[in-house]
Chains A and B, each alone.
Chain A
């Protein structure tokens, strides 16, 4: 994925072959559809069929809180909920998300569990550069909603799809534990 929204399998970025593969994108079908994002309806007009949800969110709709770090489903920076299920939005075709309820960090709500997650991340220093943070907030909120009493191993397994390069995860774990402790 690039910011032109073209998926590709070739990893030899910048090579002749890569440029050729990318240039082949954008010749497919163009479509228009609606997305339900954070409680609102957004019209996506004239998008390529192959564009990812991440690409459409950022490049068509200007939803910049959804981050683009790897575009391979490996880092979780673009985590959103789709019909309540945690997904890497770079691995979802945007057109497939038409009709689904998409929730980004902004749609998690000002109160409830998301509020506790936000407050704990700030208070416990779980944020450094912050690039992974919106995705982590979505993933942690999702985990604690499903498994409020998850033990340490379960937490670590559940969040292993979200890469943080700054914190070494210590303050993220501290934030999560503080939320669990407050509830008990």
Chain B
């Protein structure tokens, strides 16, 4: 990578096989098929004679179900089965952390889009007719949609669910809660509901098996979690539920939860026939959890010289109707609330509550983008109050190794925050708007024909850090098998087996690079990801390169060890060498080399005796649960990102054009420069989307825009080229010193874009996404009444 600061590239390439090892921009092994359109995604799969399954969903955000009559639907021609809550043979509920979500609503629906029934029919048309023929008698109830109301009444009034209305609350206390600096800024912020909007809608192909189980090919982020939940709800042992990953058209957190898996499995068991279940875009929007909307309040205080003294924060996340991953998202939001800064005195009160809004769960950044928008807005406000440059204020306050986080956790590993913010601040700026600027380069592009005289330029900065891997003491692991064998043509090849869900992030590429580096073979095959091997954990939390990459590397190293042992035996070396063959033997360029004797043994000769195989389980270091007062060694590690955004704003039309984005991201070490860039650019674009356009609008519990027509996504005309710098400091405990790179950039992109818009027009922008009316209406009208008041109650 041209402007990577990686000093490790050379070191990696020395033992990389045929230029395809780690450190190289190896192309994706599935790339050609994806380009040609022959790569099979879940929704492309079919079997002759399969049934088509669809889901009936509640039109009401909250209602009592008086009666469900499926008799007419069952009588329709072509309908094979109609199932409702009464047909679920096992556990009636499911959920990632807490099983609080009914497979089908039985007597009450708690959000618009909640599944009530599902049908399987000979074709999709018959299935849709059957849905229309199901008679559900609803008694609509008043929907509870204001999370502040749940907090203010303590959650116990009008419980929406037997588990209560508060998924979790955390009251973090660090230092002296009464301490104050002389300069103070406080304000409230609102984050709208973002959707993952992966392009390939949910789909699965399900085949019932002779043992009463099912085989399923499904697009998911976590095969083993799906299997556990499916088996529990079907009431059958897990080993009868066999899942294989189908082609996944993006995920971004939106496939961590069960959506259609249990419905499809149940219908396949009831009908005894193979079937496909799938969603279209509208159903996808209604069917998977979203990013939590947030209401935030902060009070930052600092010394006159710009040293942070205290941060008080209040974080209210709307979890919607069911828990999903809400408890973990809240822990992230609370523990990251004061940002990557040294704060002696921190008070954070956080709630994630149940409402009749759509369920919210995992999305790239997982609770951090929400608070990063708030804490970075506050840092800019504080810089204004101090009369200080916002970059300088950040430089003075960044965390460094040896500092203590608001959780009491010691910063032990490299955390290049100062380097990150200084790097983006030093990147060249784009040329200013002038008479020569083509109109297509102004806000609105070709269509708007902006008046250059009414365009304002702004520059904004943001800094964020994001935890990597699972936190709070979770026993997180990944499993991988590597087998070295002779291929049909007699040349050695490696076969990798892992249940890691490839969702587009590029694990399939990285796994091959690791095996080539460790075993020196050119040919690496990836077995399909499935549940025939142990769990790889989810593709989330920036964890797969570290965790499943770690497992693949460990298995490859063990294979190499066994292979060298076999070679030592073959060479007649003494038993102590056979036991510890690396003392005398090495694996290089597809050969075993005996360093002293100069003997060389080709791999193919050794593998003629049979393949060498190893399965390894990789674990990261243990963390602790979050204790009382939000204290504990809860996070494994962190990644840092800094963005500088430059925007032009048309002050008449309220249109924003992002002119340039610079990113410095802390990546540990670089395994694949091209794939790394792809993650940095994609993560930046999703943060830009949250800043300027992406919002699932929910009104009284009803989703108003569940289509790509009305949910606006960044296009190639909205996202500028990214000026990207990778900061490389090896991460202890991670394979090759790598850090996960998927999320950090998303956290800093949103606040940087908002800061730039704020700088361009001089308004306090306290809500994302920024809407045109926030930029052009008189300020009194620009901020709706939905801003949270700091005194809104709730105790803590």
List the interface of chain A (C-beta within 8 A of B). Answer: 1-6, 11-20, 22-23, 25-26, 64-72, 74-75, 77, 104-106, 118, 121-125, 127-134, 137, 153-157, 159-173
Contacts and interface: CB of A to CB of B under 8 A. Distances in A.
Interface stretch (B121-129, B381-389, B390-398, B628-636): B121-129
Contact of B250 (A16, A129, A161, A171): A129
Interface of B: 25, 27-28, 30-41, 43-44, 52, 55-59, 112-113, 123-125, 127-129, 131-134, 136, 196-201, 247-252, 278, 280-283, 285-286, 438, 440-441, 445-446, 503-506, 674-675, 677-678, 680-686, 706-710, 713-719, 721-722
Contact of A4 (B55, B128, B248, B682): B128
Contact of A125 (B44, B58, B113, B674): B674
Contacts of A69: 199-201, 249, 281, 708
Given A160-B716, A168-B719, A171-B674, A23 B282 contact: no
B440 A121 contact: no
Scoring B31, B40, B52 by chain A CB atoms within 10 A of each residue's CB, the highest score goes to: B31
A122 B59 CA distance: 44
A157 B441 CA distance: 10
A108 to B, nearest CB: 10
A128 B35 contact: no
A130 B249 contact: yes
B278 A166 contact: no
Contacts of A14: 55-59, 113, 282-283, 286
Contacts of B707: 11, 70, 72, 74
B35 A23 contact: no
B9 to A, nearest CB: 17
Given A131-B41, A132-B199, A160-B717, 13 more contacts: A2-B124, A11-B707, A14-B113, A20-B132, A22-B129, A22-B132, A69-B201, A70-B707, A118-B36, A125-B28, A130-B35, A137-B35, A161-B715
Given A125-B678, A128-B505, A160-B715, A105 B37 contact: yes
A155 B719 CA distance: 13
Contacts of A74: 707-709
Contacts of A2: 124, 128, 280
A74 to B, nearest CB: 4
Given A131-B249, A157-B445, A13 B283 contact: yes
Given A11-B707, A165-B252, A124 B198 contact: no
Nearest to B43: A68
27 contacts: A1-B280, A3-B124, A4-B128, A6-B125, A11-B706, A13-B57, A15-B59, A22-B131, A69-B249, A70-B708, A125-B28, A129-B198, A129-B200, A130-B31, A130-B504, A134-B35, A153-B438, A163-B708, A164-B716, A165-B713, A166-B504, A166-B678, A168-B684, A168-B686, A168-B719, A170-B681, A172-B716
Nearest to B28: A127
A15 B113 CA distance: 7
A65 B722 contact: no
Given A14-B57, A74-B708, A173-B721, A166 B682 contact: yes
B513 to A, nearest CB: 14
Contacts of A171: 674, 677-678, 681
Contacts of B200: 67, 69, 129, 131
B36 A134 contact: yes
B667 to A, nearest CB: 16
A127 B31 contact: yes
Nearest to A122: B31
A22 B55 CA distance: 13
Going nearest first, the 10 A-B pairs with the smallest beta carbon separation are: A65-B37, A130-B34, A13-B282, A129-B504, A14-B57, A168-B685, A168-B681, A15-B59, A131-B249, A4-B124
Contacts of A19: 56, 128, 131-132, 134
B241 to A, nearest CB: 25
Nearest to B687: A168
B256 to A, nearest CB: 16
B34 A163 contact: no
B250 A122 contact: no
Nearest to A72: B709
A128 B682 contact: yes
Given A12-B59, A16-B136, A104 B37 contact: yes
Nearest to B285: A13
Nearest to B684: A168
Contact of B52 (A3, A156, A164): A3
Contacts of A129: 34, 198-200, 248-251, 503-504
Nearest to A128: B504
Contacts of A118: 32, 35-36
B681 A167 contact: yes
Contacts of A72: 281, 707-709
Contact of B716 (A71, A124, A137, A156): A156
Contacts of A25: 125, 128
B441 A122 contact: no
A164 B31 CA distance: 15
Nearest to A132: B199
Contacts of B717: 156-157, 159-160
Contacts of B30: 130
A25 B124 CA distance: 11
Contacts of B682: 128, 165-168
Contacts of B250: 128-129, 131, 165-166
A26 B706 CA distance: 24
Contacts of A124: 674
Contacts of A23: 128-129, 131-133
A65 B38 contact: yes
Given A23-B132, A129-B199, A133-B34, A3 B280 contact: yes
A168 B506 contact: no
A164 to B, nearest CB: 8
B716 A66 contact: no
A3 B35 contact: no
B321 to A, nearest CB: 15
Contacts of B247: 130
Contacts of B31: 121-122, 127, 130
A65 B36 contact: yes
B27 A123 contact: yes
Nearest to A10: B282
A169 to B, nearest CB: 4
